Amino acid sequence: MRLLVLVASVRETRVGRAVGDWVVAAAGAHAPHPDAGALDIDLVDLRELRLPLHDEPHHPKLGNYVGEPAKRWSARVAAADAVIFVMPEYNHSFSAPLKNAIDYLHAEWAGKPVGIVSYGGLSGGTRAVVALQPVMVNLGMRCLSTNVEIAWVSEHVADGVFAATERHDRALAALLGDLLAERGEGRSLSR
């Protein structure tokens, strides 16, 4: 099973990469579902991916990508069996780089189970999750009800490392279990 972990913040002073690294480490250590097979993790950091503002000449529904960034991005998402968005809450919504990355593609998202690790201040990114859900539903993603919300995230990051609480670890283990169970329940995650 190929898991795409997408870090959706590109700011210089972000904590998203620290949270993303925690997700990747936990996923790598997570005991797979008996029927899920090996877990292959693809970490996509939008800061490093550097997708230009969506500039493809054709509608994404056509899958007729012209630019190399779109072609490479399409291949990575298409290869994934499941996705975890690691995302901040900006102004009661999700980040513009995440919206741009999603909007580049169309069919590649369909049918993929998606979990969310959100973070922010008091709300822990809850409002960003709520804002993202209609976008995911419209593209045919299978939104898991199990998500991880990290309130006051900056209090948990020191020297670029996210120090999860026991509650964070339990929530992430539940999310990973739900993603891996998708295959165990007989639903094929590959396209």
- In this predicted structure, what is the pLDDT of residue 55? 87
Per-residue confidence in pLDDT tens, the chain, 191 aa: 899 999 999 998 899 999 999 999 999 887 665 555 678 999 999 999 999 998 888 999 998 999 999 999 999 999 999 999 999 999 999 999 999 999 999 999 999 999 999 999 999 999 999 999 999 999 999 999 899 999 999 999 999 999 999 999 999 999 999 998 875 443 444 33
**Of all helices (H) and strands (E), which one includes residue 174?**
helix 166-184
Taking Cα atoms as reference points, which of 4, 38, 47 lies closest to residue 23? 4
- In this predicted structure, what is the pLDDT of residue 113? 96
pLDDT digits (tens, 9 = 90+) for 35-91: 556 789 999 999 999 999 988 889 999 989 999 999 999 999 999 999 999 999 999
Find out whether 109 and 77 touch, Cβ atoms under 8 Å. Answer: yes
Distance CA 124, CA 150 (A): 5
- In this predicted structure, what is the pLDDT of residue 6? 98
| pTM score of the predicted model | 0.91
Measured from the Cβ of residue 146, the count of other Cβ atoms closer than 10 Å reads 16
- In this predicted structure, what is the pLDDT of residue 189? 40
- In this predicted structure, what is the pLDDT of residue 32? 60
**7-118+148-184 classified as CATH 3.40.50.360:** yes
- In this predicted structure, what is the pLDDT of residue 182? 75
Distance CA 104, CA 133 (A): 17
